[in-house]
Homo-oligomer: A and B are copies of this chain.
Amino acid sequence: MQRQNGVALWRQIADRIRTSIADGNYDREGKVPPELTLASEFGVNRHTVRSALAALAEEGIVRAVQGRGTLIERKERINFPISRRTRFTQGIGDQAREKEGLLLASSQETPSPDIAGRLKLPAGSKVIRLETLRKADRRPVSRASSWFAANRFGGIAEAYAKTGSITAAFEAFGVKDYVRAVTEISAVHADAQDLADLGLSPGAIVLVTRALNCDMDGAPVQYSVTRFPADLVQFTIEN
Protein backbone atom coordinates (compact mmCIF):
# COMPACT_ATOMS: atom_id res chain seq x y z
CA MET A 1 0.00 0.00 0.00
CA GLN A 2 1.65 3.20 -1.14
CA ARG A 3 1.57 6.59 0.46
CA GLN A 4 2.27 10.06 -0.78
CA ASN A 5 1.05 9.48 -4.30
CA GLY A 6 -1.87 11.82 -4.54
CA VAL A 7 -4.44 9.24 -3.50
CA ALA A 8 -5.19 9.09 0.21
CA LEU A 9 -4.50 5.74 1.86
CA TRP A 10 -8.05 5.52 3.18
CA ARG A 11 -9.41 5.88 -0.34
CA GLN A 12 -7.11 3.19 -1.76
CA ILE A 13 -8.29 0.90 1.01
CA ALA A 14 -11.94 1.82 0.43
CA ASP A 15 -11.47 0.87 -3.23
CA ARG A 16 -9.99 -2.49 -2.31
CA ILE A 17 -12.70 -3.31 0.20
CA ARG A 18 -15.38 -2.27 -2.30
CA THR A 19 -13.89 -4.61 -4.89
CA SER A 20 -13.64 -7.43 -2.35
CA ILE A 21 -17.32 -7.02 -1.52
CA ALA A 22 -18.31 -6.99 -5.20
CA ASP A 23 -16.21 -10.11 -5.78
CA GLY A 24 -18.15 -11.85 -3.02
CA ASN A 25 -15.16 -12.47 -0.75
CA TYR A 26 -17.17 -11.77 2.41
CA ASP A 27 -20.41 -13.50 1.39
CA ARG A 28 -20.00 -16.14 4.09
CA GLU A 29 -20.32 -13.74 7.04
CA GLY A 30 -22.43 -11.04 5.43
CA LYS A 31 -20.07 -8.52 6.97
CA VAL A 32 -16.61 -7.08 6.54
CA PRO A 33 -13.77 -8.33 8.80
CA PRO A 34 -13.21 -6.34 12.03
CA GLU A 35 -11.42 -3.03 11.73
CA LEU A 36 -8.32 -4.30 13.55
CA THR A 37 -8.08 -7.29 11.21
CA LEU A 38 -8.36 -5.11 8.14
CA ALA A 39 -5.85 -2.67 9.60
CA SER A 40 -3.22 -5.36 10.09
CA GLU A 41 -4.04 -6.91 6.68
CA PHE A 42 -3.44 -3.60 4.94
CA GLY A 43 -0.66 -2.59 7.30
CA VAL A 44 -2.28 0.67 8.37
CA ASN A 45 -3.76 2.27 11.46
CA ARG A 46 -7.32 1.46 12.48
CA HIS A 47 -8.28 5.11 11.97
CA THR A 48 -7.38 4.78 8.31
CA VAL A 49 -9.57 1.70 7.92
CA ARG A 50 -12.36 3.57 9.69
CA SER A 51 -12.09 6.43 7.20
CA ALA A 52 -12.34 3.91 4.38
CA LEU A 53 -15.39 2.22 5.88
CA ALA A 54 -17.00 5.60 6.54
CA ALA A 55 -16.66 6.39 2.84
CA LEU A 56 -18.24 3.06 1.90
CA ALA A 57 -21.05 3.69 4.39
CA GLU A 58 -21.62 7.06 2.72
CA GLU A 59 -22.01 5.20 -0.58
CA GLY A 60 -24.56 2.90 1.01
CA ILE A 61 -22.41 -0.20 0.54
CA VAL A 62 -21.89 -1.01 4.26
CA ARG A 63 -23.42 -0.08 7.61
CA ALA A 64 -21.45 -0.16 10.85
CA VAL A 65 -23.16 -1.31 14.05
CA GLN A 66 -21.39 -0.85 17.36
CA GLY A 67 -20.54 -4.16 18.95
CA ARG A 68 -21.66 -6.25 15.97
CA GLY A 69 -19.46 -5.26 13.07
CA THR A 70 -19.72 -3.62 9.67
CA LEU A 71 -22.58 -5.18 7.70
CA ILE A 72 -22.72 -5.39 3.91
CA GLU A 73 -25.79 -3.64 2.55
CA ARG A 74 -25.36 -3.99 -1.20
CA LYS A 75 -22.95 -6.13 -3.13
CA GLU A 76 -23.60 -7.14 -6.76
CA ARG A 77 -23.06 -5.05 -9.79
CA ILE A 78 -25.84 -4.61 -12.30
CA ASN A 79 -25.01 -6.49 -15.48
CA PHE A 80 -25.69 -4.98 -18.88
CA PRO A 81 -25.68 -7.39 -21.81
CA ILE A 82 -24.28 -5.90 -25.00
CA SER A 83 -25.41 -7.50 -28.23
CA ARG A 84 -26.85 -6.72 -31.64
CA ARG A 85 -30.19 -6.23 -29.91
CA THR A 86 -29.03 -4.16 -26.94
CA ARG A 87 -32.00 -2.48 -25.22
CA PHE A 88 -31.48 -0.58 -22.02
CA THR A 89 -34.68 -1.46 -20.18
CA GLN A 90 -34.65 -5.10 -21.25
CA GLY A 91 -30.97 -5.25 -20.32
CA ILE A 92 -31.59 -4.37 -16.70
CA GLY A 93 -34.39 -6.92 -16.69
CA ASP A 94 -35.31 -7.93 -13.17
CA GLN A 95 -31.99 -6.83 -11.66
CA ALA A 96 -33.83 -3.80 -10.29
CA ARG A 97 -37.39 -3.31 -9.18
CA GLU A 98 -37.87 0.38 -9.98
CA LYS A 99 -36.63 1.60 -13.35
CA GLU A 100 -36.73 5.23 -14.38
CA GLY A 101 -35.70 7.21 -17.47
CA LEU A 102 -35.47 11.00 -17.19
CA LEU A 103 -34.96 13.58 -19.94
CA LEU A 104 -32.59 16.18 -18.48
CA ALA A 105 -32.29 18.42 -21.51
CA SER A 106 -32.59 18.52 -25.28
CA SER A 107 -31.36 20.87 -27.96
CA GLN A 108 -30.85 21.23 -31.68
CA GLU A 109 -27.28 21.91 -32.71
CA THR A 110 -24.60 21.67 -35.38
CA PRO A 111 -22.83 18.34 -34.97
CA SER A 112 -19.10 18.02 -34.34
CA PRO A 113 -17.20 16.40 -37.24
CA ASP A 114 -16.90 13.21 -35.15
CA ILE A 115 -20.64 12.90 -34.59
CA ALA A 116 -21.58 13.90 -38.14
CA GLY A 117 -19.22 11.21 -39.37
CA ARG A 118 -20.63 8.50 -37.12
CA LEU A 119 -24.21 9.30 -38.19
CA LYS A 120 -23.08 9.66 -41.85
CA LEU A 121 -24.72 13.07 -42.15
CA PRO A 122 -24.19 15.35 -45.17
CA ALA A 123 -22.41 18.66 -44.45
CA GLY A 124 -24.64 21.35 -42.98
CA SER A 125 -27.05 18.89 -41.32
CA LYS A 126 -28.42 19.61 -37.87
CA VAL A 127 -28.75 17.11 -35.02
CA ILE A 128 -30.94 16.82 -31.97
CA ARG A 129 -29.15 16.10 -28.71
CA LEU A 130 -30.84 14.37 -25.79
CA GLU A 131 -29.38 14.33 -22.29
CA THR A 132 -30.86 11.47 -20.32
CA LEU A 133 -30.43 9.92 -16.90
CA ARG A 134 -31.48 6.37 -16.00
CA LYS A 135 -32.08 5.13 -12.49
CA ALA A 136 -32.53 1.67 -11.06
CA ASP A 137 -33.96 1.42 -7.56
CA ARG A 138 -33.51 5.18 -7.07
CA ARG A 139 -29.77 5.10 -7.85
CA PRO A 140 -28.45 6.69 -11.06
CA VAL A 141 -26.95 3.97 -13.27
CA SER A 142 -26.28 5.86 -16.48
CA ARG A 143 -25.97 9.32 -17.93
CA ALA A 144 -26.23 9.52 -21.70
CA SER A 145 -25.81 12.09 -24.45
CA SER A 146 -27.54 10.91 -27.65
CA TRP A 147 -27.56 12.45 -31.10
CA PHE A 148 -30.18 11.99 -33.84
CA ALA A 149 -30.47 13.45 -37.35
CA ALA A 150 -32.75 16.49 -36.97
CA ASN A 151 -34.45 16.17 -40.34
CA ARG A 152 -35.57 12.63 -39.65
CA PHE A 153 -36.26 12.77 -35.92
CA GLY A 154 -37.55 16.31 -35.24
CA GLY A 155 -39.56 16.14 -32.03
CA ILE A 156 -37.96 12.98 -30.66
CA ALA A 157 -37.28 14.80 -27.37
CA GLU A 158 -41.01 15.10 -26.73
CA ALA A 159 -41.59 11.46 -27.69
CA TYR A 160 -38.87 10.36 -25.28
CA ALA A 161 -40.09 12.60 -22.47
CA LYS A 162 -43.55 11.06 -22.81
CA THR A 163 -42.45 7.40 -22.87
CA GLY A 164 -39.07 7.37 -21.11
CA SER A 165 -37.88 4.90 -23.72
CA ILE A 166 -35.80 5.28 -26.89
CA THR A 167 -37.39 2.20 -28.42
CA ALA A 168 -40.89 3.65 -27.96
CA ALA A 169 -39.78 7.07 -29.26
CA PHE A 170 -38.30 5.46 -32.39
CA GLU A 171 -41.59 3.71 -33.14
CA ALA A 172 -43.34 7.08 -33.30
CA PHE A 173 -40.96 7.89 -36.17
CA GLY A 174 -41.59 4.66 -38.06
CA VAL A 175 -38.42 2.92 -36.84
CA LYS A 176 -39.97 -0.39 -35.83
CA ASP A 177 -36.67 -2.04 -35.08
CA TYR A 178 -33.01 -1.12 -34.74
CA VAL A 179 -29.74 -2.86 -33.99
CA ARG A 180 -26.51 -2.01 -32.21
CA ALA A 181 -23.78 -1.74 -34.85
CA VAL A 182 -20.70 -0.83 -32.78
CA THR A 183 -19.94 -0.31 -29.10
CA GLU A 184 -16.70 1.14 -27.79
CA ILE A 185 -15.93 0.72 -24.10
CA SER A 186 -13.40 2.68 -22.09
CA ALA A 187 -12.99 3.79 -18.48
CA VAL A 188 -12.01 7.15 -16.99
CA HIS A 189 -12.12 8.98 -13.69
CA ALA A 190 -15.40 10.71 -12.93
CA ASP A 191 -15.45 14.38 -13.95
CA ALA A 192 -17.33 17.18 -12.19
CA GLN A 193 -20.46 16.46 -14.23
CA ASP A 194 -20.38 12.77 -13.24
CA LEU A 195 -20.01 13.63 -9.57
CA ALA A 196 -23.16 15.73 -9.76
CA ASP A 197 -25.30 13.59 -12.09
CA LEU A 198 -24.35 10.12 -10.92
CA GLY A 199 -23.79 11.04 -7.28
CA LEU A 200 -20.18 9.84 -7.20
CA SER A 201 -17.19 10.94 -5.16
CA PRO A 202 -13.90 12.18 -6.67
CA GLY A 203 -11.63 9.39 -7.84
CA ALA A 204 -14.60 7.20 -8.73
CA ILE A 205 -14.46 5.30 -12.01
CA VAL A 206 -16.87 5.80 -14.89
CA LEU A 207 -17.33 3.24 -17.67
CA VAL A 208 -17.91 5.01 -20.96
CA THR A 209 -19.65 3.42 -23.95
CA ARG A 210 -19.86 5.01 -27.37
CA ALA A 211 -22.58 3.25 -29.31
CA LEU A 212 -24.06 3.44 -32.80
CA ASN A 213 -27.56 2.15 -33.49
CA CYS A 214 -28.78 1.53 -37.05
CA ASP A 215 -32.21 0.84 -38.52
CA MET A 216 -32.94 -2.34 -40.46
CA ASP A 217 -31.69 -0.73 -43.69
CA GLY A 218 -28.31 -0.21 -42.05
CA ALA A 219 -28.71 3.57 -41.79
CA PRO A 220 -27.39 5.12 -38.54
CA VAL A 221 -30.24 6.44 -36.39
CA GLN A 222 -28.60 7.16 -33.04
CA TYR A 223 -25.13 7.80 -31.69
CA SER A 224 -24.75 7.97 -27.96
CA VAL A 225 -22.07 8.37 -25.30
CA THR A 226 -23.15 6.82 -22.03
CA ARG A 227 -21.41 6.98 -18.67
CA PHE A 228 -21.95 4.32 -15.97
CA PRO A 229 -20.64 4.22 -12.36
CA ALA A 230 -18.13 1.35 -12.50
CA ASP A 231 -18.77 0.24 -8.92
CA LEU A 232 -22.39 -0.45 -9.84
CA VAL A 233 -22.21 -1.76 -13.39
CA GLN A 234 -20.51 -4.30 -15.59
CA PHE A 235 -21.00 -5.39 -19.19
CA THR A 236 -21.42 -8.81 -20.73
CA ILE A 237 -20.79 -9.69 -24.36
CA GLU A 238 -22.17 -13.04 -25.47
CA ASN A 239 -21.06 -14.35 -28.82
Copies in the complex: 2
Q: Which residues of B contact A184 (CB under 8 A)?
A: 79, 234-237
Q: Which residues in chain A, 183-239, are within 8 Å of chain B measured between CB atoms?
A: 183-189, 191-192, 195, 201-203, 205, 207, 230, 233-239
Question: Contact partner of A202 among B5, B186, B205, B234, CB < 8 A?
Answer: B5
Q: Which chain B positions have C-beta within 8 A of A1?
A: 192
Interface-side segment among A6-14, A128-136, A137-145, A151-159: A6-14
Q: Is the pair B234, A189 in contact by a Cβ cutoff of 8 Å?
A: no
Does A71 reach chain B (CB closer than 8 Å)? no
Question: A12 and B188 in contact (CB under 8 A), knowing A6-B55, A239-B181?
Answer: no
Closest Cβ–Cβ distance, residue A59 to chain B (whole Å): 12
Interface of A toward B, CB cutoff 8 Å: 1-2, 5-8, 10-12, 14-16, 19, 51, 55, 77, 79, 82-84, 179-189, 191-192, 195, 201-203, 205, 207, 230, 233-239
* Nearest B residue (CB) for A79: B184
A179 CA / B237 CA spacing, docked (Å): 13
**Distance, CA A1 to CA B192, complexed state (A):** 7
In the complex, which residues of chain B have a beta carbon less than 8 angstroms from the beta carbon of A6?
Answer: 7-8, 10-11, 14, 51, 55, 201-203
Contact B5 A186 (CB under 8 A): no
4 extra interface residue pairs, beta carbon distance < 8 Å, beyond A184-B234, A187-B230: A2-B202, A12-B189, A185-B234, A185-B235
- Residues of chain B within 8 A (CB-CB) of A187 are 187, 205, 207, 230
A52 nearest in chain B by CB position: B6
Q: Closest approach, in angstroms, between the C-beta of A94 and any C-beta of chain B?
A: 19
Measured CB to CB, the nearest residue on chain B to A192 is: B1
> Which one of A180, A191, A205 has the highest number of Cβ atoms from chain B below 10 Å of its Cβ?
A205
CB-based closest 6 A-B pairs: A6-B11, A7-B203, A84-B239, A6-B8, A186-B234, A187-B187
